[in-house]
Amino acid sequence: MTREEQIAEALVELADTLVVDYDVVDFMHALVNRSTELLGGDAAGLILSDKRGQLQVMAASTHEVELLELFEVNNDAGPCLQCLRTGRPVMDIDAGPEVSESGTVAAQGGVEHGRDRLGEWPRFTAKRRAAGYRAVYALPLRLREEVIGALNLFSTSAIPLSERDLRLAQALADVATIGLLQERAIRERQVLAEQLQRALNTRIVIEQAKGVLAERTGLGMDQAFAAMRSYARSNHHRLTEVAERVIDNTLPVGELVH
Amino acid sequence: MSPSQRVLDVVESLLESDGFPVPPSVRLCEAVTAALPVTGVALSLMVPTGSAGLVAATDDRARAIEELQFSLGVGPSLVASRSGRPVLEPDLARLTSARWPGFLPAVLDRGVRAVFAFPLQVGAIRVGVLDLYRDSPGDLPDEALADALDFADVATMLLLDLQGQNPDDPQLPDRLEAAVHRPEVHQATGMVMVQAQVGLQEAFLLLRARAYADNRSVLDVAIDVVGRRLRLDGEP
């Protein structure tokens, strides 16, 4: 199979998992495996940041990669972590025996050393060498300003990725980002539906409470509402809670209406 | 937003049946299963004290799952009922086992992969829950979710009817609209609760019973109550 055919096949597979019976776990594994294949790497992994900013190792094509990624997460240091923080591609590659080049990857594929380099991570580098990997590339999963994770490519050879391959790697990372954000959007839609229904029902509770209070005090509906709202505000209670207590008669009318 | 034709057709068929040999609660569950992408439906009554009872279910598996929740005291239906919001779980296999201990493994064992629980309520009147089950994971598409919410309203009215013993009430479509969408109905409910010195649910039933007896819409009666032209204090 030519490289073009390989790429096409990979994209078709990834697109399929996005549309037909979408399953985010399948998608992540497909992404990791295809990345390895296409980029001549030996392994790949995916680290994601959940909504609260906690990092999770979501997929890894080998056990060693999983351990390396976990090591990074647990020690808060490594190329993948730096990628996540900066939103830029990062590499850590053996330039010779006992020497490594590491830092943010510049547009031309070279390594940028400079102000935004957060420093090397010797313990990680030692571990990845021990595992037989001579190079790591971390590509950011980002959409506009949000960086939600990193796609990490591990290679047993120290040949740097060509510019073309870097672009392809980033394209795969971009596909991953879209797929994952779709998953979040679906999840958020559910939460939204649930909350919307609760809000609609809460409005009814408030109307019922207005009726109860109006009958007990002789006030009009608007005045009854104003009394509840004013009480809620001064006492730092939620309006819904006040309404519920009016209905079950656990809030003395005298406290609401003076 | 008015109910879809799918929902209206179901309501129509419920009104046409005379309750024999299949009670309307069962017919509703069966109709929901047919109309929505789900494999089983159950309808349960829940009273504020916490106890609950199954009213109808489409199959033994749905029945068993409902009863399991009641006996364990955990599960999506209970959360839905207590919190007043639907609980939509499109992929049960992905939940951690700490969620709903005892219930989750048992339900997965029975081949259920998704559950959508809808509280049956009118404001602070909590009547029960309508549970939709599916043997494959996946969420409810928007249209199906909208229909499910309307079916939940129908189920609410049905359960209130069963308790108020108004089985032949032809006003169901009206009440579907009026009960949910007009503030006067809810305000009147609150007022009648105080006037008749009864619970909120009973107050609602009194309102509807008066509408039925006078052959008027619930909304019209409610407007009179709110306008203080009519008192429903339970006296004949």
pLDDT tens digits for B132-144?
999 999 988 888 9
- Is the pLDDT at A9 greater than 80? The verdict is yes
**Residue range B87-124, pLDDT digits in tens:** 999 999 988 777 888 899 999 999 999 999 999 999 99
Instruction: Name residues 157-186 of chain B within 8 A of A (Cβ).
Output: 180, 183, 186
Q: What is the mean pLDDT of residues B194-216?
A: 91
Extract the runs of DSSP E, i.e. beta strands, from A113-195: 135-143, 146-155
Q: How confident is the model at residue A112 (pLDDT cuts 50, 70, 90)?
A: very low
CB-based contact, B190 to chain A, within 8 Å: yes
Least confident of A43-47, A167-171, A178-182, B113-117: A178-182
Q: How confident is the model at residue A117 (pLDDT cuts 50, 70, 90)?
A: very low
Kindly report the backbone phi and psi dihedral angles of residue A135, in degrees, each rounded to the nearest multiple of 5, phi listed first.
-155, 145
CB of B208 within 8 A of CB of B164? yes
Place of tokens 């306008």: B227
Predicted pLDDT of residue A114: 34
Count of A-B CB contacts under 8 Å: 86
Kindly write down the DSSP assignment for every residue of A60-123, as one continuous string: ESSHHHHHHHHHHHHHT-SHHHHHHHH-S-EEEEEEETTEEEEEEEPTTSSEE-STT-----HH
Cβ neighbors of A47 (< 8 A, separation 6 or more) are: A55, A56, A57, A58, A69, A72, A73, A80, A84, A149, A150, A152
Q: How far is residue A147's CA from residue A36's CA, in Å, rounded to a whole number?
A: 22
**Residue range A46-61, pLDDT digits in tens:** 888 876 667 878 778 8
Distance to chain B for A256, nearest Cα, Å: 16
Strand A43-49 and strand A146-155: pairing? antiparallel
Q: How confident is the model at residue B163 (pLDDT cuts 50, 70, 90)?
A: low
Q: How far is residue A141's CA from residue A151's CA, in Å, rounded to a whole number?
A: 7
Q: Is B116 helix (H, G, I), strand (E, B) or coil?
A: strand
The percentage of chain A sitting over the pLDDT mark of 70, rounded to a whole number, equals 85
- Is the pLDDT at B19 greater than 90? The verdict is no
What average pLDDT does chain A have? Answer: 81
Higher pLDDT, A183 or B89: B89
- Residue B102's alpha-carbon distances to A124, A129, B78, B94, in angstroms, are 42, 46, 14, 16
**Residue range B31-77, pLDDT digits in tens:** 999 999 999 999 999 877 667 789 999 999 999 999 999 888 889 99
Contact A194 B195 (CB under 8 A): no
Q: How far is residue B58's CA from residue B43's CA, in Å, rounded to a whole number?
A: 9
Predicted pLDDT of residue A33: 85
Least confident of A62-66, A108-112, A230-234: A108-112
Predicted pLDDT of residue B105: 92
Distance to chain A for B21, nearest Cα, Å: 34
Which of B126, B123, B138 has the alpha carbon at shortest distance from B92?
B138
CB-based contact, B124 to chain A, within 8 Å: yes
Predicted pLDDT of residue A100: 64
Kindly report the backbone phi and psi dihedral angles of residue A250, in degrees, each rounded to the nearest multiple of 5, phi listed first.
-100, 5
Q: What is the mean pLDDT of residues A148-175?
A: 87
Predicted pLDDT of residue B181: 63
Contact B186 A212 (CB under 8 A): no
Q: How far is residue B227's CA from residue A48's CA, in Å, rounded to a whole number?
A: 59
Contact B200 A209 (CB under 8 A): no
- Is the pLDDT at B165 greater than 80? The verdict is no
Predicted pLDDT of residue B178: 47
What average pLDDT does chain B have? Answer: 86
Copy the structure tokens of residue B121.
């309520």
The percentage of chain B sitting over the pLDDT mark of 70, rounded to a whole number, equals 86
Place of tokens 């009430």: B169
Predicted pLDDT of residue A185: 75
Q: How far is residue A143's CA from residue A243's CA, in Å, rounded to a whole number?
A: 43
